[in-house]
Amino acid sequence: MAGVIALGVVWSIYWWIALGYAKAEFANERARLSGHGYDLKCETEDWAGYPFRFEFECRRPIVSLPEGARIESGNWLAVALAYKPWHVIILMNGPTTAVTPDGGFMELRHARAAASIVFDSNQMPAISMELNKVEIAGKLTLEHLLVHTRQGTSGTMDVAASAERFQWSSSNGALLDIDSGKLSGKFAPEPVFDVESVDLRKNNIRYWGSGPVALDNLHRLKGQLSTKTNDINGLLDIIMPLLLMDDSQKANLRMMLGLLGQNAKADIIALDGELYIGPFKVADLLPLY
């Protein structure tokens, strides 16, 4: 019995010392990010979890971003096992609201989101995040989203993502409906995102490709993807309602791509705020933020 009591005392001492270290490290990282314009404020915050966990709860968090934008959310709970403090699980309640510097906002409704962060003193953390039942009213729905990031080679960051049951309503009221999608690639230091593979599927129609993309100085997409499909007519039936083209332009595009056969290849080009399929302009690109 004395041994059990002694072990309990030693463990309690360890827990309190480790909790103090965790608080100090969290405060230092919070201050560092605040110096770069990323500031976290909580309506109230608490530390708990004795004896086997470390828990940090932030109620009604507000994350301020550079240039005046901010993100508001439901409660956040961060949990780490006392014997494995470098692996943190974060649970985030919805809804999540993004507020722009000019006062505009977008509300993202979702089921409780979960993120896993594994810290390593020699490299950037490995992060996984899962979102379910995502909805932006009148604009977007998404059944399931899973994202992974980790440090790659030569200063890159590897990214992999998968999504299920994605629907998006365009500005002209047309609906893009995708059964599933997968993405893998890496962020280079430039920064450029090198899309190693993107693969979208709807019923038996498959559309895939690769290539580099980035943002221009107005925060619009730029780059070029080399893409392929196994059913050009089926793909065109999906995307035609989304394109800002008149009927004659759509007919010309369908005819040109139809000449390539069912297993067509075409470059998707984003340049100077305009989106092209081959030589055909199909849309104007707005800034992403």
Give the model confidence (pLDDT) of 123-132 as tens digits: 788 999 999 9
- In this structure, of 10-24, 108-122, 233-247, the range with the lowest mean pLDDT score is 233-247
Say whether both 276 and 205 belong to one domain.
yes
- Distance of alpha carbon 113 from its chain centroid, rounded? 12
CA distance 226 to 267: 5
Residue 159: inside a domain: no
- In this structure, of 11-15, 101-105, 204-208, 231-235, the range with the lowest mean pLDDT score is 101-105
Residue 19: inside a domain: yes
pLDDT of residue 61: 95
Question: What average pLDDT does the structure give for the chain?
Answer: 88
Instruction: Enter the pTM of the model.
Output: 0.85
Say whether both 179 and 70 belong to one domain.
no
CA distance 153 to 160: 15
- In the chain, how many domains are there? 2
Q: What is the mean pLDDT of residues 161-184?
A: 91
pLDDT of residue 189: 75
Say whether both 254 and 287 belong to one domain.
yes
Task: Indicate if the pLDDT at residue 5 is higher than 90.
Answer: no
Domain of residue 256, residue span: 167-289
Task: Indicate if the pLDDT at residue 109 is higher than 90.
Answer: yes
User: 238: which 2 tokens?
Assistant: 């999906």
Task: Indicate if the pLDDT at residue 97 is higher than 70.
Answer: yes
CA distance 115 to 91: 7
Q: Which of 54-68, 91-105, 112-126, 271-285 has the highest mean pLDDT?
A: 54-68
Q: Which helix (H) or strand (E) holds 80?
A: strand 76-81
The more confident residue out of 101 and 91 is: 91
Question: 1 falls in which pLDDT band (50, 70, 90)?
Answer: low
Q: What is the mean pLDDT of residues 245-266?
A: 76
User: 173: which 2 tokens?
Assistant: 């009221």
Contact (CB, 8 A) for 283 and 274: yes
Question: 144 falls in which pLDDT band (50, 70, 90)?
Answer: very high
Say whether both 58 and 140 belong to one domain.
yes
Q: Which of 151, 181, 207 is the last residue of a domain?
A: 151
Q: What is the mean pLDDT of residues 15-41?
A: 90
CA distance 277 to 216: 19
The more confident residue out of 158 and 247 is: 158
CA distance 92 to 30: 18
Contact (CB, 8 A) for 188 and 196: no
pLDDT of residue 287: 82
Q: What is the mean pLDDT of residues 114-142?
A: 90
β-bridge mates for residue 250, sequence order: none
CA distance 160 to 183: 6
CA distance 267 to 212: 12
Say whether both 175 and 136 belong to one domain.
no
Q: Which of 151, 186, 209 is the last residue of a domain?
A: 151
DSSP secondary structure string for all residues of 121-188? TTEEEEEEEEEEEEEETTTEEEEEEEEEEEE-STT-EEEEEEEEEEEEE-TTS-EEEEEEEEEEEEEE
